[in-house]
A and B are shown apart, each in its own frame.
Chain A
Amino acid sequence: MSVLDFVVLISSMLGIAIYGIWRTRGRRDLSAYLKGGHTPWFAIGLSVMATQASAITFLSTPGQGYLGGLAFVQVYFGVPVALIIIAIFFLPAFRRLNVFTAYEYLGRRFDSKTRLLGAALFLLQRGLGAGLTIYAPAIVLTTVFGWPLNLTIISSGLLVIIYTVAGGNDAVTVTQKYQLGVIFAGMLTASCLLLAKLPAGLTCTDSLTLAGGFQKLNAVNFSTDVHERYTLWSGLLGGTFLMLSYFGADQSQVQRYLSGASLREDRLGLMFNAVCKIPMQFCILLLGVLMFLFYQFAPAPLFFNPAASQLLAHNVTGEKLRAYENGFAAAHARTRQQLENWLQARHSGNQIAAGKAFAAAAVARQQGEKIRFAAHQEILASKSATTANDADYVFITFILQQLPHGVIGMLVAAFFAATFSSKAAELNALSSSTTIDIYRHLIRRDASDAECVAVSKRFTVFWGLVAISFALCAHLAENLIQAVNILGSIFYGVMLGLFVVAFFVRHVGGTAVFWAALAAQALVFVLYARLAISYLWYPLIGCAACVVFSLLLQSMFLLGNRNTREFTADGNR
């Protein structure tokens, strides 16, 4: 990175953080600090979007598109239906009871122990995952730039803590707007420059045909095999439950949309996401597919991850390393030559020659992939965790090697902006839940607003330091990213189950749902240990088990329940 890149990076990041602190200075009222002010729907929509889109979304998703094509978009098929359900049933109930946290609602609908269970599940899974949103982009950026990892983690973590503590929920919402602006500007610039760098003769139809020929445009998979991770059905069914859990039962999102000036603003903010989420993810994945096309005509490295290349050089002899590199380069050159022949034949209308050239290109590409696979096996044999997903490094490698200075700084700023926006929302939600559901509920019931604000700030610092500590130790755990993602999907189903029973099953009381949730969580743990199904199914399983067990326990033991009409979906009408 040049001086210009650093100027763009530091000025945009510091500028947004200072603006957030200045705009929200002097917030003393608990409601204003934790819930925010009168946020309009557009700001809520952007805030919800920015909270979900962490830096790894913008680093990894183009890489997913590069390697696996558009199939990943199916994960988001559950978003529209889930957000409509939340807008109709969840939002009015949260609004009517004027709650700070989603778990406060569980306390009013059921009892204290169910509220604490919901808050504990959230704090456990979100607290464990807190370090990841800092660690994941930091490891990619430091590997590529050679920056000190610990310094990157600590400095970015402290900056987020400072402006989240200073301004509370409003600071998060205010800064997220501009952070998302930086992200979109960066991605749009990268897309335009990438399009300009594609070979001159490659038309839009040629690009689509080529990408489709290499199976990169398989956006919808109708397979009913539950072991396949991304299918239409896992996206529609599992994805809906995953998104319902995330948007309806995770305080980091609930806090975003409860900051609206009214129910109308909250709902429109959610509907904005319901409409825009799939196109947004499609565009990011398409950027990856375009990068795939670009690297068919431009020199591509054996590995995009520099650490993997270094490890390979360390593990094999110089002669073997050269054999891998030369073999891959030769296969890549043959692929490129055949694709140029394909393009020429296609434009001259010779379909037979075009078909032959494309088949030869596919064979040459397969040979290159075989060499890459063999080299990857050499790295795996060394039992090192450094080989992590090569997809994470594709986009950043393209940015550094192909884009001009200034734009590089803007895109690195975009990655940090994404880290900050999702991290700040997480810290804010963790501190809100700890203050409202634990401190004010269990420790000091008569705490004043000023005391709650002060305590909330301390909890923000506490969770921020937990996140930084976890990120600093993250390298000790192998496959940490995958572990934390799976952890989230394991807990989400039961968390959602608590809310589904609360809204839709009027006669079930707190004791039944509390024990049902514990039993359902145990069942999910057992199934996870024994089955090898896609993680997208666990939220559905956990939620269904919680609801069924609640009904069984309530009918078997006729446990008491109070009048719940005003707390359930009935109360919305």
Chain B
Amino acid sequence: MNCKKRPFPVDDPAPESAATGLPLLRSWKAVYLFVLASFVLWVALLIALTKLFS
């Protein structure tokens, strides 16, 4: 088999509208917002730790 001949393309054409399969975060936008929110929360906690104990 010639390895240049591979299937193309392979995934669905509209990945942003695909389901995430997660119970609460059903869209990818919700997943990204959750990640950003957890990041902001962590930075806020670290800032609080810095301010409180330094």
Check: A505 CB closer than 8 A to any chain B CB: no
Chain B residues within 8 Å of A553, by CB: none
Nearest-CB residue, chain A, relative to B31:
A271
How many Å lie between the Cα of A212 and that of B46 in the bound state?
A: 12
| Contact yes or no, A220 B43, CB < 8 A | yes
Chain A residues within 8 Å of B6, by CB: 31, 98
| Contact yes or no, B15 A212, CB < 8 A | no
Known: A84-B32, A449-B1. A275 touches B43 (CB 8 A): no
| Contact yes or no, B8 A97, CB < 8 A | yes
Most buried by B among A211, A212, A440, A445: A212
| Contact yes or no, A282 B3, CB < 8 A | no
Check: A219 CB closer than 8 A to any chain B CB: yes
Nearest-CB residue, chain B, relative to A213:
B53
Residues of B participating in the A interface, judged by any CB pair closer than 8 Å: 1-4, 6-16, 18-22, 28, 31-32, 34-36, 38-39, 42-43, 46-47, 49-50, 52-54
Nearest-CB residue, chain A, relative to B52:
A212
Chain B residues within 8 Å of A452, by CB: 3
| Contact yes or no, B46 A219, CB < 8 A | yes
Residues of A participating in the B interface, judged by any CB pair closer than 8 Å: 30-31, 70, 73, 77, 80-81, 83-84, 87-88, 91-92, 95-98, 208-209, 211-213, 215, 217-220, 232, 262-264, 267-268, 271, 274-275, 278-279, 282, 440, 445-449, 452, 572-573
How many Å lie between the Cα of A573 and that of B15 in the bound state?
A: 8
How many Å lie between the Cα of A219 and that of B10 in the bound state?
A: 44
How many Å lie between the Cα of A453 and that of B46 in the bound state?
A: 48
What's the count of A-B pairs with C-beta under 8 Å? 109
| Contact yes or no, A263 B18, CB < 8 A | yes
Could you say which of A96, A212, A215, A447 contacts B10, with CB atoms under 8 Å apart?
A96
How many Å lie between the Cα of A572 and that of B54 in the bound state?
A: 47
Chain B residues within 8 Å of A268, by CB: 20, 22, 31
Known: A212-B52, A212-B53. A572 touches B43 (CB 8 A): no
How many Å lie between the Cα of A217 and that of B47 in the bound state?
A: 10
Chain A residues within 8 Å of B38, by CB: 80, 275
| Contact yes or no, B11 A73, CB < 8 A | no
Chain B residues within 8 Å of A84, by CB: 32, 35-36
Known: A219-B50, A267-B28. A274 touches B16 (CB 8 A): no
How many Å lie between the Cα of A77 and that of B36 in the bound state?
A: 11
Known: A84-B32, A271-B35, A448-B2. A70 touches B46 (CB 8 A): yes
Chain A residues within 8 Å of B3, by CB: 30, 440, 447-449, 452
| Contact yes or no, A92 B15, CB < 8 A | yes
Could you say which of B2, B7, B9, B47 contacts A220, with CB atoms under 8 Å apart?
B47
Could you say which of A96, A278, A446 contacts B42, with CB atoms under 8 Å apart?
A278
How many Å lie between the Cα of A279 and that of B19 in the bound state?
A: 27
Least distance between A388 CB and chain B CB atoms (Å): 29
How many Å lie between the Cα of A219 and that of B47 in the bound state?
A: 7
| Contact yes or no, A95 B50, CB < 8 A | no
Nearest-CB residue, chain B, relative to A232:
B43
| Contact yes or no, A217 B54, CB < 8 A | yes
Could you say which of A96, A275, A278, A446 contacts B2, with CB atoms under 8 Å apart?
A446
| Contact yes or no, B53 A211, CB < 8 A | yes
Chain A residues within 8 Å of B31, by CB: 267-268, 271
Known: A212-B54, A217-B53, A271-B31. A95 touches B10 (CB 8 A): yes
Known: A219-B46, A263-B11, A263-B18. A80 touches B53 (CB 8 A): no
| Contact yes or no, A98 B9, CB < 8 A | yes
Known: A268-B20, A573-B16. A282 touches B9 (CB 8 A): no
| Contact yes or no, B16 A218, CB < 8 A | no
| Contact yes or no, A98 B7, CB < 8 A | yes
| Contact yes or no, B16 A572, CB < 8 A | yes
| Contact yes or no, B50 A220, CB < 8 A | yes
Offer 23 A-B interface pairs, CB within 8 angstroms, sorted by A: A80-B38, A84-B32, A87-B28, A88-B16, A95-B11, A98-B6, A98-B7, A208-B52, A208-B53, A213-B53, A220-B46, A263-B15, A271-B31, A274-B35, A275-B38, A278-B39, A279-B42, A440-B3, A448-B1, A448-B3, A572-B15, A572-B16, A573-B16
| Contact yes or no, B2 A77, CB < 8 A | no
How many Å lie between the Cα of A305 and that of B32 in the bound state?
A: 44
Least distance between A447 CB and chain B CB atoms (Å): 6
Known: A84-B32, A440-B3. 7 other contacts (CB 8 A): A70-B46, A70-B50, A77-B43, A81-B36, A88-B32, A96-B13, A449-B3
Least distance between B45 CB and chain A CB atoms (Å): 9
Chain B residues within 8 Å of A573, by CB: 14, 16
Most buried by B among A30, A80, A440: A80
| Contact yes or no, A215 B46, CB < 8 A | no
